[in-house]
Amino acid sequence: MATIDGLPPLREVIRAHDLSAKKQLGQNFLLDLNLTAKIARAAGDLSGSDVLEVGPGPGGLTRGLLAEGARRVLAIEKDARCLPALAEIAAACPGRLEVINADALTLDARAHLTPPIRIVANLPYNVGTELLVGWLTPAEWPPFWQSLTLMFQKEVAERIVAKPGSKAYGRLALLAQWRCDAKIVMILPPEAFTPAPKVHSAVVHLTALPAPRFPADAAILSRVTAAAFNQRRKMLRSALKGIAPDIEARLLAAGIEPTARAEEIPLEGFCALARELA
Ligand code: SAM
């Protein structure tokens, strides 16, 4: 039976194109089109935006994005086996879907997109964090995208939205929250995917702020947080010893107790320290 978008159900698509999931490509597919439409809605109003989707696979989320009114979708897929299935979606939505067979880690997709741009993806787990860090660390801010709506393993999603004092709090939380609003908008059990992964997943929605929440130099902030969290159990005066010879004085000038540990310090404190060290 055809679905609401007139295309065959995803199980049929997978059978017809012999798309058995490959673990090394992080292939855990979403086959419920109600769920993919819900993820697309979590990305906000798509009607005036180009959407960059990484890893469309058989196209469940792609169909959700198109059904929810995305102006245009650019989908980057590494697995050439998926291209015929995606071509069927492109034919059903003339001029609205472009598919590029490439590795999203190396392709610069910006030339293929017209602002405003939103990024929405059920990411391959093995490259998800690397892609996120790339999107969060452009040469200039604001970035080329307005929002990111991304599926991660739940544990990674919790690290992105973590607050000081929690175990999950660390570099990823600081990097994300320095220049974005970040929240978990959906939690999915393993059975939502085919094949089912071992862990729960979560969708995180990040909106780019027009400017950083607190002023700081990105490279210094990155160096300081790397050193602080590489030895998160140590007091900052020893964890940051290698950063500056007078680190105790610098910490105090930034309003931070030298005996405090990295996980107690809020974003504002790390930004103040980065300014002291500039
Ligand atoms: N979006 C589909 C869905 O929700 O059912 C598939 C999601 S699956 C978790 C991840 C997809 O990313 C797979 O189709 C896989 O082939 C693709 N992929 C893996 N590594 C990639 C890379 N480096 N660049 C682009 N696509 C990649």
Q: How far is the CA of 167 from the centre of ligand 1 (A)?
A: 29
> What per-residue confidence (pLDDT) applies to 76?
98
- Residues 157-210 have pLDDT tens digits of 999 999 999 999 999 999 999 999 999 999 999 999 999 999 999 999 999 999
**What pTM was computed for the model?**
0.97
> What per-residue confidence (pLDDT) applies to 125?
86
Four-CA torsion 246, 251, 255, 261, nearest 10 degrees: -160
Four-CA torsion 217, 219, 225, 226, nearest 10 degrees: 180
> What per-residue confidence (pLDDT) applies to 4?
67
- Asked if the domains at 10-208 and 218-277 fall in one CATH topology, the answer is no
> What per-residue confidence (pLDDT) applies to 5?
80
Closest CA relative to residue 26, chosen from 112, 106, 131, 171: 131
> What per-residue confidence (pLDDT) applies to 8?
95
**CATH superfamily label, 10-208:** Vaccinia Virus protein VP39 (3.40.50.150)
Which residue's alpha carbon is nearest to atom 18 within ligand 1?
55
> What per-residue confidence (pLDDT) applies to 30?
98
C-alpha span between 205 and 39 (Å, rounded): 10
Class of domain 218-277: mainly alpha
Q: Which residue ranges have their beta carbon within 6 Å of ligand 1? A: 25-30, 54-57, 60-61, 76-79, 82, 103-105, 122, 124, 127
C-alpha span between 90 and 138 (Å, rounded): 30
> What per-residue confidence (pLDDT) applies to 2?
60
Q: How far is the CA of 162 from the centre of ligand 1 (A)?
A: 26
Q: How far is the CA of 127 from the centre of ligand 1 (A)?
A: 9
Q: Which residue ranges make up each domain of the chain?
A: 10-208, 218-277
Parts of the chain with a pLDDT under 50? none
Q: Which residues pair with 208 in a beta bridge?
A: 180
Q: Of all atoms in ligand 1, which is nearest to the CA of residue 56?
A: 1
